[in-house]
Every structure is written in structure tokens, then in C-alpha cells.
Amino acid sequence: MIPPSHALPFPDGFLWGASTAAHQIEGNNTNSDWWEFEQRGGSAAMGVAEPSGDAADSYHRWREDMDLLAGLGFTDYRFSIEWARIEPAEGQFSRAALAHYRRMVEGALERGLRPMVTLHHFTVPRWFAERGGWTADGAAALFERYVTATAPVIRTGVRHVCTINEPNIAAIFGAVPESGTEAPAAGLPLPDKAVGDALIEAHHLARVAVKAISADIQVGWSVANLSYQALPGAEELAAAYRHPREDVFLEAARGDDWIGVQSYTRTRVGPDGPLPVPDDAERTLTGWEYYPRAVGHALRHTAEIVGAVPLIVTENGIATGDDSRRIDYTTGALMEVAAALEDGIDVRGYLHWSALDNYEWGSYKPTFGLIAVDPHTFERTPKPSAAWLGGLGRSRMLPRAGS
């Protein structure tokens, strides 16, 4: 282990960046199921305080976003492409949308940013949802067809492709979302098995489809890691909660080139099940417990399940209006990542959530971004945390506390 007085190094080639999701930043994603859901009467009662609208207008301002990330020192940018834009009607593919996303890939490369492209980040086309979503006959094959159609976007210059973001959460929501904001970690309902099975099938088909586009692309998916921590005597119960909500989806990645670890907080489990956040604990703007060590637990548990599959932290961050707490939280999280590396766990990168303050599935109030966005002018303003984290990317060194 590195002596406490020294800095913690990250290896050469380590992915160092930030993540976004198309629906949350692009704006006016009118052909998606989520847009329809946001406009639906009564959606406020299901957790949607406001619609996404223009979001951060990143569909038009992506160059500015990439300029900022590259200038701050980041080397990697994870962004998603919208199935609903690429295939707005069943079987009809938009050459203009494909060209747009290809320009984003080329723009990232021109700025020295390695693009990681996510093919599905929670949203699906309205026509797909209306035919029954993931539980309809042939759903996985339709996703495979869409993935094949993305060849002009990902064939060259894209090293990492994420097929599906957080399939375990998507399976909990089911084919059509029933709540606007993500459910809290404690007390998550069981994933819909039919949806989960379809997502696993879709992932495996997509993996083959991506490799057919280019064998050089490294394919994986990302899983929401809930960091179940058992109180004494509740170990079996914690495992029973974790397996269908997390481990099933980790096990499905054993043949992948990498797997994305996404972690924000922990879930404590007592003899009677998941426990609420302690009354005296610090909470984030999402109501989650402030717990930077969660990513360490997530990395170690994921490594136990997937074996030799390399790990990438594809999301980790905090919703807060106090940027100093973002820096403190991220420092703690990166200490966990560095400790995992020192212990021989094959961690290939860290991508912070998120690059921008964005639409958090029902509300703009939870601010996760390294970069603030004015909701009226769309002016971007990097926060101190952005310069700090980008600077770490340049040095690849994390000073230990007190050093």
C-alpha cells in the first residue's frame, strides 16, 4: 500500500471524465416515451414536478460542452444517443440524427476527448412503448436492429460502447415509467422479471451487433450498485434483496469487455429489511445519505461477481447546492477508487455524474453538475469542482488527506 503521506496515482490510460444522458440535457426529445410521460395529465402526482422542455439545449450546444470539458482537463466524455431521434417511427431511420451524433463523436475526438457512447439511457421511442415496450414480442430484436443502425456513429473513433444504462432500474420502472424521479435506494421494489429478462437478451444481442460493426469496440453495460450493507444478523436478508435487484444484471455481464459501476449511496439492511436514512445523517438534494465510501463497496462487490471483467466507474456524484461538499464527496469516492486499484481490482476509469446540471427525471432541483447551466440563457458556468476534478485528470495524482 502507498504510505499515507504520498499521493495516490491513477494509471496511464485511465479514463477520466464526466457523463451525461441525452434526454436529460438535449431538450425537446418529443418522440420519446419520457416526453409523452412528462406531458401526461396527472404526471405531477407521479413525481414529475416539471417537464424536461429545452433541458440544457445540448442538442445544439454540445460543442460548447465539449470545449469546456476538454479545457478543464478531462480526457473522456460519456454521452448517450437517442433511439427516439434515430428511429422516430418504427423502421424509419433518420440519416440526419445519425449524422448529428457522428458529428459529436468527431467533435469529441477533435478536442482530445475519448467518447464513450451509451445506446440506451432509460428512454425508448414512443412507438416502442406503445407496442408494449420491453415485454412485447420481439422487443430485444428491435433493439438489436437499432444498434445495427448506429454503425455510422460508432464504427470508428469509439473505443467504449455502453449498450444499456442501469438495466436493473429500467426493469424496476418497467416498460413505461410510473414515477418521475429515481426511487430511493432503500425499499426498491423487485424488478419486473419479464422486463429484466428482455433487457438481458437485448444486451447480449447488442453486444454481438456492436462487435459486427467493429471488433475493436469494447462493449459493456452499466449497473446501479445499491451497496447493500447488512447489520449483524441480516447478511442473508441483504443478499436476498441484492440478488434480483443487482446481481442478476452483474452476472449477465460476465462475458463483456467491461462493466460500468454506478454508485451514489448505500442501503443498510436490518433484520426486517432495508432501513431508512438515519435521522442524523447528512442528506443530498435527492434525499440520499451522503456516503462517499459507497463506490468502494460497489467496486469490490462487482469484482466478486464478474471476476476478471474490467470495471469502469461510469457514474458517481452528488446532488448538492454546496460545491465544496461535491469536492469533499468526490475526494472520498476517489480515495475508494484508488484503494481498490491498490488492492489489485482492475478499475479502468472514473466518469463523474454529471458534466452539467440537468433534468433529473422529473425536476431540475437536484443539481449534480460540475458545470452550472442558466435555465433561461443556457449560459454554462464551470463550478470550482470542475476545475479541481479536471486538474486531477491532468496530474493523475490524488493527494491523500493531510498531504
- pLDDT digit string (tens) for 360-376? 999 999 999 999 999 99
The amino acid occupying position 172 is I
Which three three-digit cell numbers place residue 30? Answer: 418529443
Decide if 166 is catalytic: yes
CA end-to-end span of the chain: 16
Please, which residues bridge with residue 320 across strands? Answer: none
| DSSP conformation letters of 58-110 | HHHHHHHHHHHHHHHT--EEEEE--HHHHSSBTTB--HHHHHHHHHHHHHHHH
pLDDT for 43: 66
For residue 253, pLDDT over 70 is answered with yes
CA-CA distance, 303 to 307, in Å (whole number)?
5
Residue whose C-alpha cell is 462517499: 292
Q: How far is CA 53 from CA 182, 208, 364, in A?
A: 19, 35, 11
Question: For 69-119, how does the pLDDT look when each residue is reduced to its tens digit (9 = 90+)?
Answer: 999 999 999 999 999 999 999 999 999 999 999 999 999 999 999 999 999
> Per CATH, which fold does 8-398 belong to?
TIM Barrel (3.20.20)
For residue 199, pLDDT over 80 is answered with yes
Lowest mean pLDDT, pick from 170-184, 266-280, 312-326? 170-184
Pairing status of strand 371-373 against strand 380-382: antiparallel
pLDDT for 393: 87
pLDDT for 187: 64
Question: For 167-194, how does the pLDDT look when each residue is reduced to its tens digit (9 = 90+)?
Answer: 999 999 863 344 444 444 456 889 999 9
Q: What is the mean pLDDT of residues 230-243?
A: 96
User: For all residues of the chain together, what is the average pLDDT?
Assistant: 93
Name the catalytic one among 166, 289, 336, 360: 166
Domain ranges of the chain: 8-398
pLDDT for 1: 37
pLDDT for 403: 45
For residue 2, pLDDT over 70 is answered with no
For residue 5, pLDDT over 60 is answered with no
Question: For 300-310, how does the pLDDT look when each residue is reduced to its tens digit (9 = 90+)?
Answer: 999 999 999 99
Which residues fall within 8 angstroms of residue 277, CB to CB, at 6 or more apart? 186, 283, 287, 288, 289
Q: How far is CA 178 from CA 30, 121, 200, 286, in A?
A: 18, 16, 21, 18
pLDDT for 158: 98
Please, which residues bridge with residue 228 across strands? Answer: 267
Contact 146, 125 (CB under 8 A): no
Which three three-digit cell numbers place residue 243? Answer: 440478488
